[in-house]
Structure formats: structure tokens, C-alpha cells
Chain A
């Protein structure tokens, strides 16, 4: 395509502005990565800086020295993410499948039952009372998996739309004439043909679980059940707690000094690292996922 001079100027202008915006989006991350490698006294004296006077690996050494706390938190986060995403994806797609079958008598009833949950909710208070008073999930692993997240109406409708628009009913009918049961049709035909949407929704769910800290805020007070986000939150927001004697229980009685600013930054970096691995896949599926999601329910 031949570009006129005005157009070329505009393209260059776009590239420059986009570059600046991307740098702007990226700088805060750079600042905390650098802070995590900064010597603590330098941090206190000179503040956070992109060009620290003295660098240090102290923060990461500290994390290594009380590794079990961090490994446990990482373990909790990974376990919750994997379990939650697996169960969530399974029940989401199992529910979405009958909803996508226009030859199924109750498909609209199911769709409405799911859709209505997106319109109206009882609010947090009844949910909180139900989960704590009747299901007793307080301070259990379930508290991190069950409430709010496992499956939500938006995900179900997204998968339903994909099933409906991308897998023709004829394929299903053909399979069933050949003698496949509904279960077999679902697992052997529908799911394999729907990998893009499963990847997209799985990614949404996985990220939501990895980044979740609210469930623990409501339902968990045992530090042993803290995932990486809640451990980070505790280290960050409650310096008084750290200065009190209780800190020893959480951080190991042998911890010589209280976790420094650099340690908190190092932990934030460790919290972001898994997200970075997801990013390339995100990039690949996101556009499609967002567009599918934008199609009405």
C-alpha cells in the first residue's frame, strides 16, 4: 500500500505514542523489580529509584532463608488455581452444553436460571452468613475455591455461545445416530471441538484464582491457608502486626529481622512471575475471547 506523506507522519506518530503508552504501562513494574534488588539502606535513604546507588540480593536471600513460608503460600495458590480452574471448567462446560442444544426442551429455562444470577444477587451479607453458618467453610481450603468464583454466569454463557455458534447441531445428531450417548458426545466431540473457548475461559478462571485475595479476607484467618496474594497483603498492610510478637508465628520464630521493603517488593515480583507465563497465551486468545464474550447472552 502506498502511503502519502501525511499518512506516513501519522503512522510514525501512532508508533511513538503507542511506545510511550506502553512504557508508561510498564514503568511501575520496572520500579518494583529494581526496588527488590535495591539495598535496604539505599531504599530508606534515597527512596524508590530507577537507578539505585547500591544493589543487593538481600531480599531474595531473605525469602530463601524463610523459604517454607513462601513455598507454602505458593503451594496454596497453585493448588487453589489448578483445582478451582479444573472443577470450574468442568461444571461450566457441562452446564453450557445442554444450554447450547436447541433441541433440548429446557435449554431456555437453564439459560434464564444462569442469566438471572447476573442481574440480581442477595448481596454479600446473606452469602457470608450462608457459607459460614450453614456450610462452615471458614478456615478451610473450600473457602478459597467455592464462593464467588468457581463458575459465574458470564463464563457459562460465553461457553454456551461458542458451543452454539461453532459446533453445528448436525455433527451431534450424526454422532448420536452412530450410537454415541450424550455423555460421549459431550466429552468426545463437543469438548475437543471447543478447545479455543476452553482455553480462554480457563485462562480467565486461572487468573482470577491466582489473583484472588478477597475470599481469604472474608473466610480465612489461618496464615497456613494464605496464598501468595494474602501473604503479600499481610506483609504489606500490617506493619504493626509485623512489629508485634505475633509475626514470629507467621514468619518463623527464627526470623532475625522483619521483612524489609525490598522483601515486600521481591514478593510482589514473585507474585507476578506466573502471570507473565500466561501473557503470551493471553495475547493469542484474548481478542477472540473478548469478542465471543461480547456476543449477547
Chain B
């Protein structure tokens, strides 16, 4: 009689815990172990002594990192690119979603949608090849078929840093806008058609309907998606900033982000301390941002808070 109530819950929970086991183990190894590895940023790593045996050096890695101009450049680039991506990406995605929802022919809208999400499905390696086909100095499409016939001097794209902010924003929008429009498209499809009907009876034209009905009803979705991307503003797509500019050193001033810096410091400069410091800087600021954003979402729209 005493044993029974105890054994029953165990009998119920044990199989479920076993099912969860492999996944939990994976997260433990892949995500939690490295979290305890953040102390590497405070050490002078020496493989001969081992990670645990290496000497503590306090905040020296951070001091060195923030004394370089790299720290400022990568922080600025990461933030500004993300702001541009969020602002333009949102606008273009909403535009596509609205136009798409106007198409009455289902076959067309399917066809267009398929065409527009294709760029999102290719790898960064293939994407960088596409870009290379357009921009390389000798035979690129832009130099050869656009600039030359127009009599404009050809541009050596992969060594001129000033063009890359525009190029990377354009490339990112090209790759992601179609995919990003899906959720707005679905929200518009969910709007009650009778609202539009009654607006029509009141004499509202299409543009007015969009301004007075579609956009206001999309507002909660827009706010939540924008805030959520704000939470990730300290992260960048490593592939976009490393692979697409072909890791060209001449472009670092406008293409270096925290992610590419961490990679270079770790793999190319072998500076483990500095890269660990940059990585921790990114994680901590990112974490703080996510918490802040969640607090804001909670105020704006409690339904959509992450946690």
C-alpha cells in the first residue's frame, strides 16, 4: 500500500524519460557543455597545458579585443546590416504578400511563390557563385554586359569595400524576401473578406483598403516579427559575410561581422583567446537583447511573448 503510489508515477514517467533521453543527451553535449566553456575567454589557452591547466588572465583577452579597430568595425557592421535587413526585408516582404494576395489565379500565385522562395533554398556557396557570375572583374555580367556597353568604367567589385553595403543588402533581400513574405501572406489570407466587401460598398478603392484594412490588421504580426529579429541583431549569417565576398581582405572594413571575426581569429589567426572573447561578447549581448525584446513584446502583445 505504501509502495504503490510511488511506483505508479515512475512507471508512467520512466518510458517518457527514456524517449526524451537521446535528444536531451544531444542538447547536453552540443549546447550545455560549451556554455561551461565560456571561461576559455578568461584564459591564456595553451594546448600543452590543456584547457583546464592554462593560466587565468582575467579580462586581458577582452582588453586586447576592444583595443583593436576590429571590435568597433565588426560591431558597427553587424548592427547596421541587421537594421537594414530588418527594415527593407519587412517592407519588401509585406509588399510581395499584398501583391500576391491580389492575384485571383491560384496557378499564377503558386508559380510566383515557387519562383520567389527558390533563392532561399540554395546554399551560400552556390549563392556566392551566382554573385561571382555577376560581379567578377574579368568576365562578370555587370562589368561586361552593363557597364562596358554604357561606357562606364568597369569596377573591381571584390576589392572595393564601398559598394558592399549596398550589394550585401540587395543580395540578402533577393535571397530572403520571398520566403519572408509567406507569413504575411498567410496573415492576409486569414483576414475576413467581408471587411473588404463593406469597405468597397463605402466606396474605398484598393489602395485605401490596403492602407485602412490590410496594414492595420497586419500590424501585430509586423511588430512581433520585427521585435523577434531585433533579438537576433547581434548575430549575422556567417555564410553571407564570409562566402559571398569571397573572404576578400580588401573588403573587411564593410564585410567583417562578429561571426566572421570569430571564425578568422580562431581558424586563421589561431588566436583562441581573442575569438573566445568576441564569441562571449556576442552571446552575452545577444542574450540581454533577447530578454529585453521579450519584455517589450510582453508589453505590446502578451499573446506573442516568447516566454
A residues neighboring B (CB under 8 Å): 4, 6-7, 10-11, 14-15, 17-19, 21-26, 28-29, 31-32, 35, 43-44, 46-49, 90-92, 94-99, 101, 104-106, 110, 113-115, 117, 119-130, 133, 146-148, 150-151, 153, 156, 181-183, 186, 207, 210-214, 217-218, 229-230, 232-233, 236-237, 261, 264-265, 268, 271-272, 275, 278-280, 282-283, 286-287, 290-291, 294, 296-297
Contacts and interface: CB of A to CB of B under 8 A. Distances in A.
Interface string B1-31: 0000000010011011101101110110111
B23 A214 contact: no
The 10 A-B residue pairs whose C-beta atoms are closest, nearest first, are: A126-B37, A47-B144, A123-B279, A95-B23, A122-B34, A211-B123, A182-B15, A22-B115, A14-B102, A126-B34
B300 interface: no
18 contacts: A14-B100, A15-B105, A29-B118, A32-B133, A91-B23, A94-B22, A95-B24, A105-B13, A110-B24, A117-B31, A120-B286, A123-B280, A125-B276, A126-B37, A130-B29, A148-B30, A213-B125, A275-B118
Given A125-B37, A214-B239, A94 B23 contact: yes
Contact of B145 (A48, A91, A106, A290): A48
Given A4-B200, A229-B125, 13 more contacts: A11-B103, A21-B116, A25-B116, A106-B16, A119-B287, A124-B275, A125-B40, A126-B276, A214-B238, A229-B123, A233-B243, A265-B133, A290-B182
Contacts of A106: 13, 16-17
B40 A115 contact: no
Interface string B122-152: 1111101110111000111101110000000
A123 B34 contact: yes
A229 B290 CA distance: 33
Contacts of A6: 205-206
A47 B121 contact: no
A129 B37 contact: yes
A180 B226 CA distance: 45
Decide if the interface of chain B is mainly helix, strand, loop or mixed: helix
B165 to A, nearest CB: 20
Contact of B16 (A14, A104, A233): A104
A233 B125 contact: yes
B129 A47 contact: no
Contacts of A294: 183
Decide if the interface of chain A is mainly helix, strand, loop or mixed: helix
A214 to B, nearest CB: 6
Contacts of B267: 217-218
B146 to A, nearest CB: 10
A286 B114 CA distance: 10
A124 B128 contact: no
B229 interface: no
B206 A7 contact: yes
Contacts of A271: 122-123, 125-126
Contacts of B307: 115, 296-297
B126 A268 contact: yes
Interface string B221-254: 0000000000000000011000100110000000
Interface in B78-101: 96, 99-100
Given A25-B119, A32-B129, A121-B283, A92 B23 contact: yes
B144 A146 contact: no
A84 to B, nearest CB: 12
A182 B19 contact: yes
A20 B182 CA distance: 18
A123 B38 contact: yes
A98 B129 contact: no
A25 B30 contact: no
A183 B16 CA distance: 8
A121 B138 CA distance: 43
Given A110-B20, A151-B27, A121 B118 contact: no
Contacts of B140: 47-48
B111 A22 contact: yes
Given A119-B290, A120-B283, A181 B102 contact: no
A154 to B, nearest CB: 11
Contacts of B102: 10-11, 14-15
B144 A46 contact: yes
B105 to A, nearest CB: 8
Contacts of A217: 267
Q: Which of B20, B26, B115, B116 has the most CB of A within 10 A?
A: B20
Interface string B270-283: 00100110011011
Nearest to A32: B133
Contacts of A29: 118, 130
B266 interface: yes
B66 interface: no
Contacts of A282: 117, 121
Contacts of B9: 105
Q: Which of B112, B207, B291, B305 has the most CB of A within 10 A?
A: B112
A144 to B, nearest CB: 14
A217 B186 CA distance: 37
Interface in B134-192: 134, 138-141, 143-145, 174, 178, 182-183, 185-186
